[in-house]
Amino acid sequence: MLNDAVTVFREDAEDAVRIVSGMLRRGEGGEAFRERRRAIAWSATEAGLQSPAIVEESGTAVRVTRGKDSLLVACDGDGPEALRAVVREASRRAGGSPFFKTKAAPPRRVDTGPSGPDEEGRATLIASALARALPDPRGLSMTLAIARVTVSRAVVTARGLVPCGEATRLEVTGVLRRTGATRSFAFQSSAPFASACDALARALAEATRPVPAHRAPEGRVDVVLSPEAASVFWHEAVGHPLEAEGGERTSVLTRVARASVAPPGYFVTSDPTRRELPGSYLADDEGTPARPVPLLEDGRVAGVLTDRRTAGAETNGHGRCGDFRRPPRPRLSALTVSGGRASRDELLDACGGGLYVREISAGHIDPESGRFSLFVESADLVRRGRLSAAVAPFVLTSDVLTALRNLWGEAGEVSAPASGLGLCVKRGEPLPVGGASPAILLRGLSAVPGRP
Amino acid sequence: MTAPADTLFEEVLAAASASAHDGEGGEVYERRGAALELVEDEHSLHASVSTERGFAVRLFRSGRTSFAASGAASARSLPAEARLLLSRSRSRRGARPAPAVAGAAPPEFLAPPVRPDEVAARGLLVAFRRALAAASDGAVLLGEAALTLGARTERVATTGGRDVSFGSASATLVATVSARTGAGRASARVVAAAARPEELGLARLAHHAVDRVLLPLKGRPLDPGRWDLLLDPLVAASIVARLAPAFFGEEEDGFLAARTRDGRDALAAPALTLVDDASAPGGPARTTHDAEGTLQGRTVVLERGRLATRLTDVAAAQRLGTGATGNAFRRAFSEPPAIGVTNFFADPSSGVPPLDLLRSLARGFYAAVLLSRPQVDLAADRFRLHAAGYWVEKGRATEAVSETLLSGRLSELLRGIEAVGDDLKFIPAAGGGAGSPTLFVPKWKG
């Protein structure tokens, strides 16, 4: 069973460590990486669940670094033979020949089938969530891919085997169509399966509401972001610019290290140890133990997210890869933001006239210039400090430094997890990320009507 | 790693065929792949080499389907896993194993793909760095360039008698570039994809990269108005890419039905013909068979502005009562096939040189690059492009435009296309490519 995947990785750990240790020559660093991914997936339409699928992939990679250059060799399989094959190829490319003096590896356990009563029950829970979300699907057409994905990873260094952890999440992506509008839908949750299905039902019901005819105001606007929407803002505006990449001065926030960019009282942390949030892990994909890294402390830029390539031994454990075939890069995990003291009504009151954003479906940032765009799917007008009519989708833009400078000094009381923050795609490489933030008030963003 | 003549595929196929006498059909798919990626930045070079061998099984019974996929180690158990899932599937018309391909001899075994040439790959990176320096006079910096060369061989066999194998290759270059001027800073990622490394078009990508980061830093913003509009091929291709799903046989055809009054009206101007062609010169895809083993060819979906046909896989063709067009697509061996494009493009065969189109602009905007993801909503019949380019008067570029928003009804844009260029270019899109020549839309109000 997959729950034992890390145990399986341990079965030949002693040999694996010896092989990795023997592969590395003087002046070289490196490790082996093992991954197993299993998904039970369903296609779904407005008529309910359609076709089931089961997928299991496993892979092994070795990574070798010498000076600033590095090599990764990967193949399928997560057993001893796969490890030998990649080490053989890595050594061949380095002009050496590996020495495999190992004990006989124990026979690998063969996984049993997926279709037990548990899966029957899970399918029923998903079907029930869809039925609750769409009690009357007339006029709606949708194509969803729903998957329960479990990923297990471990790193083998020259010293030992480091489990990165095992994460299970419910992932849903797809397209919803109503007369006159199409929208994409993304959802993920690491909560227990029944709770995740309840959250899915709520998110889907919200996403399938008819699109309001009322257009959002155009131009400069003050915006209250709900906790879920605020998580996407922090992810784009603070998280990505503080992923260490290509030198210290290439992003709008790394150029102002230690500077005060937001009002005092804002603490933003990339915290992979928050197990209840997607994007958490025990150790990163280079075997460095996970730890919280402050990015903003009391409104000041406090740190950057690093891996071994960017920080060597000083890495703070944010080297992550999309799968075993890809090299680790500094990437966000779960971004948490400290709560403040303002209630939602106080935030709306301070906003006066503007918008209350419930859902942001996607975002984009150019870290160099700091320009960002947030694609808003669901929002209400705010008039005289009260919620008013719902408005049609629109895009919010600004630049990071201006937006943080115009952040209202008091955040909402409750820092809530964001279920809509799904896979973060950077350089075409998707990774699960999470977030938890209070509601916030941002002044002076630019609103452009229209759907992404 | 495995001997080429192993019998694993035959064993899986035999297991998938075990219940054929009960009316169950099966399909077995194998993919072998090899990939090389070189990532170069200012300070370092990273090389990744990977191989894969994966299997997938689909079972069919009375319109129900199930799917199971894994690497070679667990492949033997896939038919049993899929069989357990089959009873939970919902029945859908048209789902069945693909029939035999006429004249195709069963392959003896699936040969592993040829490994990509690393020396040639390093040469391409050097050539791109030089091309960028030459195109920008050093004003644009290359942050990172990632070149990926891939090759794969595939085999599909069904209980309906199909058994074919085929191979393909791909090359992708992704570059992160940046520029700093007195007006500010900008960075961007640009991408080129081709079926062969030598077809990547490095000089063209370098010029595109320079425009992408320098244009937003110079010139002035342009307010919406009514003027002639010229769309660069790479800008126009992004719209063509978003049109493709409307022609998938699987999709609801609300957009096409609503915009053409169930086919009685034209969808676009006569200048526009849309084609899917797996062997189109310059296209990122170059394949002979689709992911279900159907032979591919040229499919015209929109002929001189009028709906001609749909892109189909075996099941959609069965539902529509037509032949399959060879548009089943698997992003990975671990995903069930779905309808997709190969090289989907606006046909340039009636086009004129782009300079002739430029000369015909009395007063208008040449959209050279997109500054953000294009927004095209088929259901709402709306589009919006955030673009930079040049203001043109009497056929001459007079001023750089740092940004402008082009938006409006998609159907009006399509019906307003008066002429196309002969300069077809492609962008990567949904596993294949989308392409367009320069498009000329006179008196566009956006």
A291 and A159 within one domain: no
Tell me: do A233 and A195 sit in the same domain: no
Q: How far apart are CA B57 and CA B11, in angstroms?
A: 12
B238 interaction partners in chain A (CB closer than 8 Å): none
Percent helix, strand and coil across chain A, each to the nearest 5: 25, 40, 35
For residue A21, tell me if it sits in a domain. Answer: yes
Cβ contact A53–B74 (<8 Å): no
CB contact under 8 A, A74 and B42: no
Name the helix (H) or strand (E) containing A122.
helix A117-133
Q: Is the same domain home to A322 and A281?
A: yes
- Whether the predicted pLDDT of A78 surpasses 80: yes
Would you call A448 and B143 a contact, using CB atoms and an 8 Å cutoff? no
Question: Which range, of B144-153, B185-194, B256-265, averages the lowest pLDDT?
Answer: B256-265
Which residues does chain B have within 8 Å of residue A50's beta carbon, measured at their own beta carbons? 89-90, 92
Rounded to two decimals, what is the model's pTM?
Answer: 0.89
Quick one: pLDDT at residue A452? 46
Reduce the secondary structure of A83-114 to three states and give it as a string: HHHHHHHHHHHCCCCCCCCCCCCCCCCCCCCC
Q: Residue A111's pLDDT is what?
A: 47
Same domain assignment for residues A393 and A359: yes
Torsion of CA B98, B103, B108, B113, to 10 degrees: -80
Q: What percent of chain A has pLDDT over 70?
A: 91
Which of chain B's residues have a Cβ under 8 Å away from the Cβ of A127? none
- Among B54, B185, B372, select the one facing A368 at the smallest CB separation: B185
Q: How many angstroms separate the CA of residue B20 from the nearest CA in chain A?
A: 20
Looking at the complex, does the CB of residue A111 fall below 8 Å from at least one CB of chain B?
A: yes
- Whether the per-residue pLDDT at A393 is higher than 80: the answer is yes
pLDDT of res. A106 = 53
The mean pLDDT value for A273-300 works out to 93
Interval A328-339 mean pLDDT: 93
Identify the band that residue B250 occupies on the pLDDT scale cut at 50, 70 and 90: low
Residue in A192, A190, A195 with CA at minimum distance from that of residue A171: A190
- Side chain identity, residue A7: T
Average pLDDT over every residue of A427-452:
86
Residues B97-142 have pLDDT tens digits of 888 877 666 676 678 888 888 899 999 999 999 999 999 988 999 9
Other CB atoms within 10 Å distance of the CB of residue A324: 26
Give me the mean pLDDT over the A349-355 stretch.
95
Neighbouring CB atoms inside 10 A of B350's CB total 14
pLDDT of residue B2: 47
Per-residue pLDDT at B214: 93
**One domain for residues A361 and A431:** yes
Given this model, what pLDDT does residue A112 score? 47
Choosing from A163, A182, A207, the residue where a domain stops is A207
Quick one: A226 and A167 in the same domain?
no
Element (DSSP H or E) covering residue A204: helix A193-207
The ipTM of this complex is 0.88
Q: Which residues of A touch B62 (CB under 8 A)?
A: none
Q: Is A89 on the interface with B (CB under 8 A)?
A: yes
- Rounded distance between C-alpha atoms, residue A293 and residue A268, angstroms: 9
State the pLDDT at residue A87.
92
Q: Give the pLDDT score at B157.
A: 95
CB contact under 8 Å between A177 and B379, yes or no, is: yes
Q: Domain segments of chain B: what residues?
A: 8-216, 219-445
Query: Of the residues A207, A242, A263, which one is the last residue of a structural domain?
Result: A207
Q: Are residues A237 and A165 in the same domain?
A: no
Q: Which has the higher per-residue pLDDT, A182 or A321?
A: A321
A with B: how many residue pairs have Cβ under 8 Å apart?
178
Partner-chain contact B49 A141, CB within 8 Å = no
Which residues constitute the domain of residue A269?
219-449
* Whether A45 contacts A144, CB under 8 Å: yes
Mean of all residue pLDDT scores within chain A: 87
Banded pLDDT at A421 (limits 50, 70, 90): low
Indicate if the pLDDT at residue A388 is higher than 90: yes
Per-position DSSP letters for A366-388, written without gaps between them: -TTT-EEEEEEEEEEEEETTEEE
Weakest mean pLDDT among A49-53, A103-107, A269-273: A103-107
- Amino acid B252: pLDDT: 53
Distances B311 to A175, B267, B324, B340, B429 between C-alpha atoms, Å: 19, 17, 8, 8, 15
Q: Using CB atoms, which residue from B50, B68, B377 is nearest to A54?
A: B68
pLDDT band at A99 (very low <50, low <70, confident <90, very high): low
Percent of chain B with pLDDT over 70: 96
Whether residues A262 and A319 share a domain: the answer is: yes
The C-alpha atoms of residue A300 and residue A284 are separated, in whole angstroms, by 26
Q: What is the CA radius of gyration of chain B?
A: 24
The mean per-residue pLDDT over the stretch A374-390 comes to: 92
Residues on chain B touching A181 (C-beta within 8 angstroms)? 377, 379-380
Query: How many angstroms separate the CA atoms of B346 and B275, rounded?
Result: 6
Q: Which chain B residue shows the shortest CA-CA distance from A93?
A: B49
Same domain, A336 and A287: yes
Band (pLDDT 50/70/90 cuts) for residue B65 is very high
Question: How much is the pLDDT for B253?
Answer: 58
Average pLDDT over residues B82-90: 88
Kindly state whether B378 is in contact with chain A, defined as any CB-CB distance less than 8 angstroms.
yes
Least confident of B217-226, B231-240, B394-403: B217-226
Q: Do A366 and B53 touch (CB under 8 A)?
A: no
Q: What letter would DSSP give residue B97?
A: P
> Distance (Å, rounded) from C-alpha B62 to C-alpha B91?
7
Among B68, B377, B384, the residue with its CB nearest the CB of A181 is B377
For A158-199, how does the pLDDT look when each residue is reduced to its tens digit (9 = 90+)? 999 999 999 898 999 888 887 667 788 888 888 889 999 999
Query: B349 to chain A, minimum CA–CA distance in Å?
Result: 32
A85 touches chain B (CB under 8 A): yes
The answer to whether B174 contacts chain A (CB < 8 Å) is yes
Substitution target from B30, B31, B51 for chain A, most A beta carbons within 10 A? B51
Helices (H), A287-377: 308-311, 344-351
The answer to whether residue A214 sits within a structural domain is no
- Domain's final residue, options A207, A227, A258: A207
Among A43-47, A97-101, A264-268, B59-63, where is mean pLDDT lowest? A97-101
| pLDDT reported for residue A451 | 56
State residue B162's pLDDT score: 93
DSSP annotation of B245 reads G
- The number of C-alpha atoms within 13 Å of A43 and in the hemisphere containing its C-beta is 16
pLDDT band at B229 (very low <50, low <70, confident <90, very high): very high
Looking up residue A154, the CATH number of its domain turns out to be 3.30.2290.10
Contacts of B69 in chain A (CB under 8 A): 53-57
Alpha-carbon span B432 to B415, nearest angstrom: 26
Report DSSP state, residue A353: S
Identify whether the C-beta of residue B65 lies closer than 8 Å to the C-beta of residue B128. no
My answer on whether A111 and A91 are in the same domain is yes
Shortest distance, CA A325 to any CA of chain B (angstroms): 6
Cβ–Cβ of B187/A250 closer than 8 Å? yes
Mean pLDDT of chain B: 90
| Domain identity same for A411 and A322 | yes
Q: Who among A115, A181, A451 is closest to B84 (CB)?
A: A115
> What CATH code would you report for B8-216?
3.30.2290.10
Residue A402 pLDDT more than 90? yes
What CA–CA distance (Å, rounded) separates A289 from A284?
Answer: 6
Show the 3-state SS of B195-243: CCHHHCCHHHHHHHHHHHHHHHHCCEECCCCEEEEEECHHHHHHHHHHH
Q: Which of B45, B46, B86, B383 to mutate to test the interface with A (most CBs of A within 10 A)?
A: B46
Quick one: A160 and A238 in the same domain? no
By the 10 Å C-beta count (0-12 exposed, 13-18 middle, 19+ buried), A72 is classed as buried
pLDDT tens, position by position, B206-218: 999 999 999 999 8
Domain-embedded: residue A212: no
Task: Give the number of domains in chain A.
Answer: 2
CB-closest option in A52, A53, A181 to B380: A181
Note the pLDDT tens digit of each residue in B390-434.
999 999 999 999 999 898 999 999 999 999 999 999 999 877 899
* pLDDT reading at A96 higher than 70: no
